[in-house]
Chain A
Amino acid sequence: MRIFFFCVVFFCSAFAEDLPDSTRLFKLNEIVVTGNRLLTESRKLSSSVQVLDSLELHSVNGSSLADAVKFQHGIFLSSYGSTGALQTASLRGLASDYTLILIDGERFNTFQIGTVDLGIFPLSNVERIEIVNGGNSALYGADAVGGVINVITKHAVTENSLSAKYSLGSFNFQSYGIEAAQIVHKIFLRANLSIERAANNFPFTFSDGLQTQQLKREGADYSSKIFSGEISSSVTENIFSRLSLRLSEADRGQPNAVMNFIQNNRARILDKNAFLTFKTDWSHSQENIFSLQSSYQYKFQNYSDPALRIGGKNVDAVYYNQMISLTPSVQTSFDGGNKLFAGIELVRGIISSNELYPRRRDQFSAYVSSQFEIQNIFNAVFYPAVRYDTYSDVNGDFCPKIGINIGVTSFENIRIRASYGKNYRIPTFNDLYWIEGGNPNLHAERSLSGDVGIIGSVDWIGKFEAEAAYFSIQTKDKIVWKPMGGTLWSPVNISAVSSTGIEANVRSSFFKDGIIIQWNYTLTNSIKTSADVPNDATQGKRIPYLPKETAHLLFTGSFQNVSCNIRYSFSSFLFTQADNNPQKILSAYSTIDGNISFQFSALGVRSTAKLEINNLTNEEYTFILNYPVPLRNYRFSIQTTI
Chain B
Amino acid sequence: MKKYVLLVCSLILFGCSKESPADSSNELPANTKGVFILNEGGFGKVNASLSLYIPDSHKVYQNIFETANNRSLGDVANDMILFDNKGYIVVQNSDKVEVVSLETKKSLGVMSLPGKTPNKILIISTSKGYITNLYKQSVTAFNPSTLAVLKDSIAVGNNPQSMAYVNGKVYVCNSGYGSDNTVSVINPTNDSVVKAIVTAAGPSEIGVDKNGKVIILCTGYSDWSNSANDTPGNISIVDPAVDSVVQTIPFSLSQYGHPMKMSLSTSGDGFTFTNKGITKFNTTSGTITAESYIPKNGYTLKVDNDNGELYVGDAMDFVQNGLMYRYSKQGNLQDSMTVGIIPGTIVIAK
Residue ranges of A at the interface with B (Cβ–Cβ < 8 Å) = 1-2, 208-210, 257, 259-262, 264, 307-312, 357, 435-437, 482-483, 485-488, 519, 521, 532-533, 536-538, 548-549, 551, 553, 568, 570, 572-573, 575-585, 588, 590, 617-619, 625-626
Contact = CB atoms under 8 A, between A and B. Distances in A.
Interface of B: 2, 5-7, 9-10, 13-14, 16-24, 42, 44-47, 69-72, 74-75, 93-96, 107, 110, 112, 114-115, 135-137, 158-159, 176-180, 219, 222, 224-225, 257-258, 260, 273, 275, 297, 315-321, 341
Nearest to B1: A1
A537 B71 CA distance: 24
Contacts of B224: 435-437
Contacts of B17: 549, 572
B174 to A, nearest CB: 10
Given A538-B319, A572-B19, A311 B178 contact: yes
A239 to B, nearest CB: 50
A579 B320 CA distance: 6
A570 B12 CA distance: 12
B16 A483 contact: no
A536 B323 CA distance: 12
A307 B134 CA distance: 11
A311 B176 contact: yes
A173 B101 CA distance: 48
B114 A626 contact: no
B16 A210 contact: no
Nearest to B226: A435
Contact of B16 (A486, A488, A549, A579): A549
Given A1-B5, A310-B135, A310-B159, A262 B115 contact: yes
Nearest 7 Cβ contacts at the A-B interface: A209-B71, A582-B21, A311-B179, A264-B115, A262-B114, A551-B14, A436-B224
A122 to B, nearest CB: 29
A568 B13 contact: yes
Nearest to A482: B317
Given A551-B10, A568-B13, A532 B47 contact: no
A482 B46 CA distance: 20
A209 B115 CA distance: 19
Nearest to B71: A209
Contacts of B75: 257, 259
Contacts of A259: 46, 74-75, 93-95
B110 A210 contact: yes
A582 B19 contact: no
22 contacts: A209-B70, A210-B110, A257-B93, A259-B75, A262-B112, A485-B260, A486-B222, A487-B260, A488-B222, A536-B320, A538-B320, A568-B9, A570-B16, A572-B18, A573-B20, A579-B320, A580-B21, A582-B21, A582-B23, A585-B21, A588-B18, A618-B2
Contact of A626 (B6, B16, B44): B44
Given A553-B14, A573-B19, A579-B319, 4 more contacts: A209-B72, A257-B93, A259-B94, A575-B21
Contacts of A568: 9, 13
A79 to B, nearest CB: 15
A359 to B, nearest CB: 13
B94 A260 contact: yes
Contacts of B13: 519, 551, 553, 568
Nearest to B76: A259
Contact of A312 (B9, B180, B297, B341): B180
A357 B225 contact: yes
B219 to A, nearest CB: 8
A435 B179 CA distance: 16
Contacts of B115: 262, 264, 307
B69 A308 contact: no
A141 B16 CA distance: 35
Nearest to B44: A257
B47 A577 contact: yes
B137 to A, nearest CB: 6
Contacts of B20: 573, 582
B10 A570 contact: yes
Contacts of B2: 1, 617-618
Nearest to B115: A264
Contacts of A307: 115, 135
Contacts of A308: 135
Nearest to B158: A312
A436 B179 CA distance: 14
B135 A486 contact: no
The interface centre, meaning the residue of B45, B110, B136, B219 with most chain A CB atoms within 10 A of its CB, is B45
B45 A625 contact: yes
A260 B96 contact: yes
Contact of A577 (B42, B110, B179): B42
A309 B137 contact: yes
A383 B154 CA distance: 70
Nearest to B261: A486
B221 to A, nearest CB: 10
Nearest to B75: A259
A261 B23 CA distance: 29
Contacts of A583: 21, 23-24
Contacts of A487: 177, 222, 260
Contacts of A485: 257, 260, 275, 297
A618 B71 CA distance: 25
A533 B14 CA distance: 39
Nearest to B319: A578
Contacts of B135: 307-310
B84 to A, nearest CB: 22
B69 A209 contact: yes
Contacts of B315: 483
B225 A577 contact: no
B46 A625 contact: yes
B42 to A, nearest CB: 7
A111 to B, nearest CB: 20
Contacts of A582: 20-24
A210 B110 CA distance: 10
A411 B72 CA distance: 60
Contacts of B7: 590
Given A257-B44, A435-B224, A537-B320, A311 B94 contact: no
Contacts of B24: 582-583
A538 to B, nearest CB: 5
A538 B316 CA distance: 12
Contacts of B159: 309-311
A581 B340 CA distance: 11
A435 B225 CA distance: 5
Contacts of A618: 2
A536 B317 CA distance: 9
B319 A626 contact: no
Contacts of B317: 482-483, 532-533, 536, 538
A508 to B, nearest CB: 14
B17 to A, nearest CB: 7
B71 A210 contact: yes
Nearest to B178: A311
A579 B17 CA distance: 22
Contact of B19 (A548, A576, A577): A548
Contact of B14 (A261, A486, A521): A521
A324 B2 CA distance: 52
Contacts of B273: 486
Contacts of A590: 6-7, 9-10
Given A310-B177, A357-B225, A572-B19, A483 B6 contact: no
Nearest to B17: A549
Contacts of A311: 158-159, 176-180
B242 to A, nearest CB: 27
Nearest to A211: B110
Contacts of B275: 485
